[in-house]
Amino acid sequence: MKIKHNKNFTAGAVITAFMLAVILIGMVWTPYDPNAMSGKDRMLSPCLAHPLGTDNFGRDILSRVVEGAGATFIIAAATVAIGLVAGLVIGGLTGYYGGWLDEVIMRFNDAVAAFPSILLALVLIALFGSGKYNIILALGLLFIPSFARVVRSEVARQKSLDYVAGARLMGAGDMRILFLHILPNIIPVLLPSVAIGFNNAVLAEASMSYLSVGVQPPDASLGRMLNEAQGYLLTAPWYALSAGVAIILLVLGFGLLSEGMGGEYGAA
Amino acid sequence: MRYILKKTGVLLITLLLISLLAFLAFQIVPGDPTTKLLGSEYSPERAAALREEMGLNRNVLVRYVDWLTGFVTGDLGVSYSYGMGVRQVMEGKGVVTAALSLMAWLLVIAISIPLGITLARWQGGRLDRACVAMNQVFMAIPPFFLGILFTYIFGLVLHLFVPGGFISPQSSFWGFLGYLAFPALAIAIPKAAMVTKLLRSSIINQMGENYVRTAYSRGNSRWGVIRGHVLRNAILPVVTFVAMTLADIVAGSIIVEQVFALPGLGRLLLASIGNRDYPVVQCIVVIIAFVVVFMNYLADVVTQYIDPRVRLA
């Protein structure tokens, strides 16, 4: 069993490292300007000058995929950050103190969790309007319940352990116990959920941008590229394929990582 | 029985809560609906008259109760941008989304249950190892990208269907189902990969139990043990999960409808969000949410029923 999980972890680490490297390089250098149009180079199939071909405006697809992956990655990371920080505070406090507020918040969490997330995101977009920052805000809000739930159950479990009693005997206050003693101990449990949350964020962002309610042109995003590429499926199938494969690699890498971690920590 | 009653109570409260939240959410949106409805005929007097007529000046809670009564009795309100009842706007759209979701859901079950059992039966075999690796990849594919791939492969290259050439159920029922087959498959495959994985590991986890050893010692084959003893235990978490996936499937169909140009609730929802046609958005959201919550409720009840520890208690 152990070997299998490590295999997952290794494969995930390799794919994620590759994508991260591509994204980081893309932030300082891309083969071409992702937005530079060229009338004579329209719809080129993959060749030496343009390894992934060009799109309907003659823009280099490789450069666009790299830039789009970066945008998708940043949006997903920001989304997870919002959900994680708010989830830590809400889940931490409710798990630590319990009581009626805990009940109310957890019932509310259950109701939100039972809802299709895309639907909720669309409602929030209908309220806030579309655009890059509204997507981050909407998705970030949506991710709070799932993180809060994980944090809550873990904090509730840890607070009755001996080391917490020890810290209390030494005179540590509630906040110090919660954030300095308990929090570091729940990180192993939290990491797989962060990876899964990241995946959901990537998929959600890609879906929303595909539906044209997310990232707006001229900003690049993998979902938007798929939306544009669909119109040129017959003439330039490599366009859709490149953007789609980039999404799959991002999601697959983090999925394998979370599985690898989940297995290892679960076994420990 | 008490459990079912309690669950039903929670269900009703959840439904009320959802409808209230959805209603309130669209009340706080900035902007006055009368501006949109009157268009070029707008004047402050007319707007005031229309507000009065639509009852917009009344208390929010009164309007909520009004709207809810209308919703339950089938009067869904009036669309801002189509100038007709929300009910007329939604005519025929629900069927498409419902058929698509149901078809995808059935496909998930039809693919994953036999596959999960087969893989667990020949655990560690060549097929098992290949499928476990493939599963990871399939789980990572967004349904709408799979839809685009299908459009290309089956639509444009193999000419098995005409992309965008939706066939309405009135003109040809089988043509309708045939056109839905590819979108349904696109939604189903990533989910089926998850369910397969869950069922396989659920069966394999059970294989180490004492009752399995006993079953073996009585001369059962591995297949006999799985079929006669393990499956009914291993299937419990899967049933819950399969029922829960319906929420994701409905959500997935909102997007995939866009890929295949299906005239369903998802497309209407997106168009209405674009048009800021809130009565329509509100209705669709509440309807989908109701269906999803109700399915989760059914899943709970069914799981309880098939688990003898609970049924006999």
**Residues from chain A contacting residue B152 (CB–CB below 8 Å):** 233-234, 237, 240
Rounded Cα gap, residues A52 and A69, in angstroms? 15
* Contact between A62 and A31 (Cβ < 8 Å): yes
Confidence of residue A175 (pLDDT cuts 50, 70, 90): confident
The residue behind tokens 């069927």 is: B95
A110 conformational bin, left if phi > 0, alpha if psi -120 to 50, beta if neither: alpha
Cα angle vertex A113, ends B109, B17, to 5°? 115
Inform me whether the pLDDT recorded for B42 exceeds 80.
no
With CB atoms and an 8 Å threshold, state whether B276 touches A126: yes
pLDDT above 70: percentage of residues in chain B: 93
Size of interface A-B (CB pairs under 8 A): 109
The CATH number of whichever domain residue A92 belongs to comes to 1.10.3720.10
The number of residues making up chain A comes to 268
- Closest Cα partner for A73 from A12, A24, A31? A24
CB proximity A173 to B under 8 Å: no
Asked if A255 lies within 8 A of B136 by C-beta distance, the reply is yes
More confident residue, A43 or B147: B147
Residue at A263: amino acid letter: G
Instruction: Give the amino acid at B190.
Output: P
Give B300's pLDDT tier (boundaries 50, 70, 90).
confident
The domain of A182 spans: 7-25+56-267
CA distances from B275 to A139, B40, B76, B270, B278 (A): 22, 16, 18, 9, 8
> Using CA atoms, how far apart are residues B266 and B244, in angstroms rounded to an integer?
19
The mean pLDDT of A71-85, rounded to a whole number, is 93
* Predicted pLDDT at A52: 76
More confident residue, A15 or B164: A15
Q: Reply yes or no on whether the pLDDT at B310 is more than 70.
A: no
- The pLDDT value recorded for residue A1 is 40
Helices B265-275 and B93-121 pack at an angle, to 10 degrees, of: 130
On whether the CB atoms of residues B169 and B208 are closer than 8 A, the answer is no
Helices (H), B151-277: 173-206, 210-217, 222-225, 231-259, 265-275
Question: Quick one: pLDDT at residue A220?
Answer: 77
What pLDDT, in 10s, does the model give residues B131-164?
Answer: 888 888 898 898 899 999 998 888 888 888 877 7
Flag if B25 and A127 touch (Cβ within 8 Å): yes
Say yes or no: A54 contacts chain B, CB-CB below 8 A: no
Query: Is B196:B134 a contact under the CB 8 Å cutoff?
Result: no
Question: What does the DSSP assignment read for chain A?
Answer: -HHHHHHHHHHHHHHHHHHHHHHHHHHH--SS-TT---GGGTTPPS-SSSTT-B-TT--BHHHHHHHHHHHHHHHHHHHHHHHHHHHHHHHHHHHHH-HHHHHHHHHHHHHHHTS-HHHHHHHHHHHH-SSHHHHHHHHHHHHHHHHHHHHHHHHHHHTTSHHHHHHHHTT--HHHIIIIIIHHHHHHHHHHHHHHHHHHHHHHHHHHHHTTSSSPTTS--HHHHHHHHHTTTTT-HHHHHHHHHHHHHHHHHHHHHHHHHHHHHHH-
pLDDT at A46: 76
Tens of pLDDT, residue by residue over A26-39, are 888 777 777 777 76
Q: What residue spans define the domains of chain B?
A: 1-89+277-313, 93-263
B133 and chain A: CB distance < 8 Å anywhere? no
Q: Looking at the complex, does the CB of residue A126 fall below 8 Å from at least one CB of chain B?
A: yes
Whether pLDDT at A267 is above 60: no
Collect all residues of chain A within an 8 Å Cβ-Cβ radius of residue B289: 115, 119
Contact (CB, 8 A) for B32 and B47: yes
pLDDT at residue A13 greater than cutoff 70: yes
Inside any domain, residue A2:
no
Query: Is residue B31 pLDDT above 90, yes or no?
Result: no
Partners of A83 in beta bridges: none
Residue A50 pLDDT exceeds 80: no
pLDDT of residue B36: 66
pLDDT band of residue B101 (cuts 50, 70, 90) is very high
Burial of B54 (0-12, 13-18, 19+ CB in 10 A): middle
3-class state of residue B80 by DSSP: coil
Give the amino acid at B124.
Answer: G
Residues B227 and B214: their CA atoms lie apart, in Å, by: 15
As a whole-number percent, the residues of chain A with pLDDT over 90 amount to 10
Report CB contact under 8 Å: B273, A252. no
Average pLDDT over residues A162-188: 88
Q: Give residue-wise pLDDT tens across range A122-146.
A: 888 878 877 788 889 988 988 888 8
State the average pLDDT over residues B233-259.
Answer: 85
Verify cis geometry, omega within 30 degrees of 0, for the bond prior to A218. Answer: yes
**Residue A3 confidence (pLDDT) above 60:** no
Evaluate whether residue A38 is within a structural domain: no
Angle, helices A132-158 vs A183-210, to 10°: value is 150
- For residue A54, the cross-strand partners are A60
Confidence of residue A265 (pLDDT cuts 50, 70, 90): very low
User: For an interface test with B, which of A109, A124, A210, A254 has the most B Cβ atoms less than 10 Å from its Cβ?
Assistant: A210
Task: Please give the CATH superfamily to which domain B93-263 belongs.
Answer: MetI-like (1.10.3720.10)
**Number of neighbouring beta carbons within 10 Å of residue B160:** 12
What's the one-letter identity of residue B274?
G
Q: Which residue of A has its CA nearest to B142?
A: A203
Mean pLDDT rounded to a whole number for chain A? 83
A45 in a structural domain: no
* Tens of pLDDT, residues B248-280: 888 888 889 988 888 888 889 888 888 878 888
Q: How confident is the model at residue B313 (pLDDT cuts 50, 70, 90)?
A: low
- Average pLDDT of chain B to the nearest whole number: 84
Question: What pLDDT does B186 receive?
Answer: 93
Q: B271, B201, B239: which is closest to B105 by C-alpha?
A: B239
pLDDT confidence of residue A264: 43
Cβ separation B278–A117 shorter than 8 A:
no
Q: Please list every residue in chain A whose beta carbon sits closer than 8 Å to the beta carbon of residue B17.
A: 111
Distance CA A34, CA A44 (A): 15
Question: Could you tell me if A239 and A60 are in contact, meaning their C-beta atoms sit under 8 angstroms apart?
Answer: no
What domain count does chain A have? Answer: 1
Cβ atoms within 10 Å, residue A164: 19
Query: Please, which residues bridge with residue B85 across strands?
Result: B78
Q: Are B265 and B93 in contact (CB under 8 A)?
A: yes
pTM of the model: 0.84
Q: Do B28 and A127 touch (CB under 8 A)?
A: yes
Q: Which of A223, A150, A220 is nearest to A191 (CA)?
A: A150
Q: What is the pLDDT of residues A244-262, one digit of tens each?
A: 999 999 999 888 888 887 6
For residues B295 and B15, the answer to whether their CB atoms sit within 8 Å is: no
Q: What is the pLDDT of residue A266?
A: 35
Residue A31 lies in a domain: no
Q: What is the mean pLDDT of residues B74-96?
A: 79
Closest CA to A242 of A54, A35, A38, A11: A54
For residue A84, pLDDT over 90 is answered with yes
- For residue B281, give the chain A residue with the closest CA: A123
Is B144 close to A126, i.e. CB distance below 8 A? no
- DSSP for B108-140, written as a single string: HHHHHHHHHHHHHHTTTSHHHHHHHHHHHHHHH
**B16: Cα within 13 Å, side-chain hemisphere:** 8
Per-position DSSP letters for B24-41, written without gaps between them:
HHTTSSSS-HHHHHHGGG
Share of chain A above pLDDT 70, in %: 95
Give residue-wise pLDDT tens across range A205-233: 888 888 888 777 777 788 888 888 888 88
